[in-house]
């Protein structure tokens, strides 16, 4: 070969086939997250098995769907377990806690849709995903038009997903607490800033166990109370799980109003209000330590519900389609706590009632409960921050400390509260635009977006308390499902999943 041809050969571009780099999930998804996903798979496998047995001993419908779900969840749990058992657990970080919480809730919501779709109760994939996400996030919004004639296994699965979603943080912490440390605290509190909230015990493992005990106790008390007011064991079990988790799925199309029983409504009202109280307060009362710094928050929560309830009761009494006076109080408790049971349609009570329902939807109950919304403590922080800023404008040299009761609130907590409000406003706006693009009027679009973001369920207008979300197109249902996840994990945990830093291999 001549020198000229050799030089020309060297100048030719050479194409090499490179093998694609494998996705190193073991590096990107750490052992803490895999451990949490294993715990979630086990919980769903047990729930699916219970539904399979229910189908076998009741109406025989959907037995295949839940049998398949049981097998799939079991296989997933075994495969996931092999990825972390017997291997060293590196020191977890806040990144690990965020990923564990976010991915576990997303995966659980998607899995919850599988038996619903296989059962035939939901004709569209989007319907099943929406219903499954609504269950796991304890939202209670439903795409079912006829609840009364669904298979028993499907109804029980909806209630169980509520119950698992309500206790899900505890299940997660039991799995990761031995190694998670500060990351577990971040996951428990669901805050984007430094965790500063009081827990029931100094150690996360003890906190998880005590919280689980309180949750089981609340469920048991709810079950006994509903049996005493006349519900059948089947309906009492389902509604006890829904009310303990502040979820809202019912075994009846007309929700709690289908019982047409004042004792049932009174019992549910008391139970919903109790479920909206922080578990820290319940533990402090049980251990005889009193309310302490939580007195202001508890008093604000109770007064808000009573005030909204009285105003709604007046509106219900004076409307063109008058309802029972107690319907107003029941609605206030249901919407504020995010439970979402309904006994009447507040759309019929006038424009003032609609505004009150929107306020209750955005409010939420207490930090440390299973409810959604802004929550009372965050509202108190925001109002305190506004008051402090006004005082600074009057006297710039003055040092103003934001307080809730007598407890100072850090600047980080104030910034986090305003940041939460800003992100929630953007999410509500986008959700409203999505539903408006789907053909819904502005009231329905705004209230539906708000109800899903804050895990309440029933909205107003075309998506009101006596309606379902069955008319929402696929894109709208998937968008609302995202809003439910966003609200359940306090916005920032889900948003963190879309950042490059969270997925960077360690």
241, part of any domain? no
Q: Cα Rg for the chain, rounded, in angstroms?
A: 25
Report in angstroms the alpha-carbon separations of 16 from 9, 13, 19.
Answer: 16, 10, 10
Tell me, rounded to whole angstroms, the distance of Cα 250 from its chain centroid.
17
Q: Which of 423, 471, 424 is nearest to 444 (CA)?
A: 471
316 and 175 in a common domain: no
Tokens of 436: 């408006």
Q: Which of 424, 268, 265, 289 is nearest to 339 (CA)?
A: 268
474 and 328 in a common domain: yes
347 and 484 in a common domain: yes
Residue where the block lists tokens 């879309």: 498
Tokens of 477: 């249902």
Q: Could you list the residue range(s) of the whole structural domain that residue 118 is in?
A: 27-197
305, part of any domain? yes
Tokens of 43: 């919980």
Would you give the DSSP letter of residue 390?
A: H
34, part of any domain? yes
Specify the pLDDT at position 303: 94
300, part of any domain? yes
Give one word for 342, left, alpha or beta, with left for phi > 0 and alpha for psi -120 to 50: beta
- Domain termination site, one of 156, 178, 197: 197
227, part of any domain? no
Find the DSSP H helices in 119-232. 125-136, 152-180, 182-189, 204-228
Find the DSSP H helices in 319-373. 325-336, 351-363
Quick count: other Cβ atoms within 10 Å of Cβ 478?
16
312 and 167 in a common domain: no
299 and 427 in a common domain: yes
Tokens of 392: 């600074």
280, part of any domain? no
Specify the pLDDT at position 200: 60
Specify the pLDDT at position 318: 67
Specify the pLDDT at position 495: 87
- Domain termination site, one of 197, 219, 250: 197
- CB-neighbour burial class of residue 127 (10 A; exposed 0-12, middle 13-18, buried 19+): buried
471 and 352 in a common domain: yes
316 and 173 in a common domain: no
302 and 169 in a common domain: no
Total domains in the chain come to: 2
Specify the pLDDT at position 465: 72
405, part of any domain? yes
309 and 423 in a common domain: yes
- Domain termination site, one of 176, 197, 218: 197
The pLDDT profile of the chain, 506 residues, written as one tens digit per residue, is: 555 555 555 555 554 545 444 445 556 777 778 888 898 899 999 999 999 999 999 888 899 999 999 999 999 999 998 888 877 767 667 777 778 888 889 999 999 999 999 999 998 999 999 999 999 999 999 999 899 999 999 999 999 999 999 887 665 655 555 544 554 555 544 433 333 456 666 566 677 778 888 899 999 999 999 999 999 999 999 999 999 999 989 999 989 989 988 999 999 999 999 999 988 888 888 888 888 778 888 999 999 999 999 999 888 776 655 556 788 899 999 999 999 899 888 888 888 889 999 999 998 888 888 888 888 889 999 998 898 888 888 887 778 888 887 788 888 888 888 999 999 999 999 999 999 999 999 999 999 999 999 999 899 999 987 788 989 999 999 999 999 999 988 888 888 888 887 777 55
Specify the pLDDT at position 317: 74
190 and 303 in a common domain: no
Specify the pLDDT at position 404: 84
18, part of any domain? no
pTM (predicted TM-score): 0.88
Tell me, rounded to whole angstroms, the distance of Cα 241 from its chain centroid.
14
């Amino acid at each position: 070969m001549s020198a000229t041809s050799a030089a020309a050969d060297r100048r030719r571009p050479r194409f090499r086939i490179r093998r694609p780099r494998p996705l190193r999930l073991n590096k990107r998804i750490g052992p803490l997250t895999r451990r949490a996903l294993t715990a979630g798979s086990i919980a769903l496998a047990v729930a699916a098995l219970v539904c399979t047995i229910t189908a076998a001993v009741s109406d025989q419908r959907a037995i295949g769907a839940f049998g398949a779900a049981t097998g799939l969840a079991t296989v997933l749990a075994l495969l996931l377990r092999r990825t972390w058992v017997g291997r060293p657990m590196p020191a977890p970080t806040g990144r690990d806690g965020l990923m564990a919480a976010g991915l576990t809730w997303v995966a659980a919501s998607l899995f919850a849709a599988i038996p619903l779709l296989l059962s035939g109760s939901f004709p569209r994939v989007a319907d099943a995903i929406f219903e499954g996400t609504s269950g796991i996030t304890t939202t209670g919004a439903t795409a079912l038009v006829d609840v009364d004639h669904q298979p028993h296994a499907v109804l029980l699965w909806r209630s169980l997903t509520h119950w698992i979603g309500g206790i899900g943080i505890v299940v997660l912490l039991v799995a990761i607490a031995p190694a998670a440390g500060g990351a577990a605290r971040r996951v428990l509190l669901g805050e984007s800033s430094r965790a500063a909230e009081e827990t029931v015990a100094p150690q996360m493992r003890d906190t998880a166990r005590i919280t689980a005990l309180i949750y089981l106790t609340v469920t048991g008390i709810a079950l006994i109370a509903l049996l005493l007011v006349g519900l059948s064991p089947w309906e009492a079990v389902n509604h006890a799980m829904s009310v303990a988790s502040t979820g809202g799925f019912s075994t009846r199309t007309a929700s709690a109003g289908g019982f047409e029983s004042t004792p049932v409504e009174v019992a549910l009202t008391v139970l919903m209000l109790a479920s909206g109280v922080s578990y820290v307060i319940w533990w402090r009362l049980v251990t005889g330590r009193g309310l302490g710094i939580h007195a202001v928050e508890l008093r604000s929560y109770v007064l808000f519900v009573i005030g909204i309830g009285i105003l709604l009761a007046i509106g219900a009494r004076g409307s063109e389609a008058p309802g029972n006076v107690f319907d107003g109080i029941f609605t206030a408790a249901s919407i504020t706590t995010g439970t979402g049971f309904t006994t009447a349609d507040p759309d019929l009570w006038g424009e003032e009632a609609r505004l009150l329902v929107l306020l209750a939807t955005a409010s939420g109950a207490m930090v440390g409960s299973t409810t959604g919304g802004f929550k009372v403590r965050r509202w108190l922080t925001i109002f305190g921050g506004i008051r402090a800023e006004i005082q600074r404008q009057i006297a710039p040299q003055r040092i103003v400390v934001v307080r809730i009761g007598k407890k100072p609130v850090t600047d980080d907590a104030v910034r986090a509260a305003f940041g939460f409000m800003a992100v929630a406003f953007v999410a509500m706006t986008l959700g409203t635009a999505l539903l408006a693009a789907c053909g819904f009027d502005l009231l329905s679009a705004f209230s539906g977006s708000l109800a899903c973001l804050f895990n309440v369920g029933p909205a107003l207008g075309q998506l009101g308390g006596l309606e379902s979300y069955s008319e929402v197109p696929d894109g709208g249902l998937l968008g609302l499902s995202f809003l439910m996840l966003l609200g359940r994990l306090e916005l920032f945990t889900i948003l963190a999943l879309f950042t490059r830093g969270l997925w960077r291999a360690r």
